[in-house]
Amino acid sequence: MHLGIHKIIAVNLIVFCGLFLSLEFSFRVWLSFRRCDIACYDTVYLTKLDAFTRIEKDRAYGFLTMDPITGYSPADGTFVIHEWNDATITIRQGVRVNPNFTPPSAEGAILAVGNSFVFGDEVSDNETWLAILEQRINRRVVNGGVAGYGTAQAVLRAEQLLKTEPYSLVILSILVAHDLWRDRYVPGMVDSYRPVVIRQDRGLRQTTVEESRRVVSENFVCAHSWIPELFFWSHVAKRFFSRFGYDGRCGNVTHPQAATVEEVLEFAVEYLSAIPVNTAILVQYPLDSFDHMIEAVNAERRMIREAANRHGVPVIDTYDALKDKPSREIYEIFNGSSNHHSMKGNEIVADLIARKIAAHPPPRF
């Protein structure tokens, strides 16, 4: 009797596995050929076993450490990042610096905050747009950027840095199609947690890091990550588990009370405008902004400008300065993909900001 039950179970398992493998193969074929209008096939779906996106680039972020207020921030030291063509990263007092240049005066210092486009991922200390701007205007420009930061999270960092020294201007960088969404996701980089913007009592507020940690711990899939790990080879399983915020790790768990993207923007700009120094918003773009995302990008550009106008914050938009430039000149190319600005791209950004500052001297800038 028991032998018969075991046989039935075994047969059903074999049938199920066979059907699942057939479904997996068919799905991989579809993923490979679904965008033939752009590129006829993408062989990675048929040649790479692991379906989940392992966040291997976190290995490059050995200079990040936990922060009880902002979630995580740079740790002091000098680092050579082999994944970034041996780029040199120098961090002092929690901010990135260019040790090869010192402005003649520390007065009128500028603080810039935002994500990796501010920090200068994939380029060395003297190649970030902040280091280039510092030399263009001969004023100290402090690099408060941190990879993976959301917009409101970056304003929170600005508030913390303003407690350590005064600045004449705070520039908030917003990376279109990325930063506003990040302020809804509770996990941060290097296994940390980020403060996010939520709705509460008919208003908006920013959570603490501890509140975000509890949200992740209450997520069943994240608390039992060995379950999706059993299906590491399956794109079908990946599609299912990504609904719970898991894609090789729990990186996209949305807070259950998360504000909308529009609300996040309004919260962040109002928060920025309340800082007791001059402020400005810098709008930056990933490469695909100039290709198939044009309509969505233009909608977000308008949204940012309208929110900034409501709160009296000037906007520096890099779109027109970059759109006609060859992508291989203004973006770093690693493993066939374009990620962050190259030194040339950062020079264009720095020159644009320098012109704006020259055209609008203090007290505006």
- Interval 165-205: pLDDT, tens: 999 999 999 999 999 999 999 988 878 899 999 999 999 99
So what's the pLDDT on residue 3? 59
pLDDT digits (tens, 9 = 90+) for 4-52: 787 888 888 888 888 888 887 888 887 877 655 444 555 777 777 777 6
| pLDDT of 344 | 97
What is the structure's pLDDT at 57? 46
Q: Which one-letter amino acid corresponds to residue 134?
A: E
User: Residue-wise pLDDT tens for the chain (365 aa)?
Assistant: 555 787 888 888 888 888 888 887 888 887 877 655 444 555 777 777 777 665 444 556 789 999 999 999 999 999 999 888 899 999 999 999 999 999 987 788 999 999 999 999 999 999 999 999 999 999 999 999 999 999 999 999 999 999 999 999 999 999 999 999 999 999 888 788 999 999 999 999 999 999 999 998 888 777 777 677 777 778 787 777 777 666 666 767 899 999 999 999 999 999 999 999 999 999 999 988 887 778 999 999 999 999 999 999 999 999 999 999 998 899 987 654 557 999 999 999 999 999 999 998 666 66
SS (H, E, C) the chain: CHHHHHHHHHHHHHHHHHHHHHHHHHHHHHHHHCCCCCCCCCCHHHHCCCCCCCCHHHHHHCCEEEECCCEEEECCEEEEEHHHCCEEEEEECCEECCCCCCCCCCCCCEEEECCHHHHCCCCCHHHCHHHHHHHHHCCCEEECCCCCCCHHHHHHHHHHHCCCCCCCEEEEEEECCCHHHHCCECECCCCCECCCEEEECCEEEECCHHHHHHHHHCCHHHHCCHHHHCCCCCHHHHHHHHHHCECCCECCCECCCECCHHHHHHHHHHHHHCCCCEEEEEEECCHHHHCCCHHHHHHHHHHHHHHHHHCCCCEEECHHHHCCCCHHHHEEEECCEEEEECHHHHHHHHHHHHHHHHHCCCCCC
Q: State residue 50's pLDDT score.
A: 78
Q: Which domains can be identified in the chain, with CATH numbers?
A: 2-47 (no CATH), 56-186+258-359 (3.40.50.1110)
pLDDT of residue 279: 97
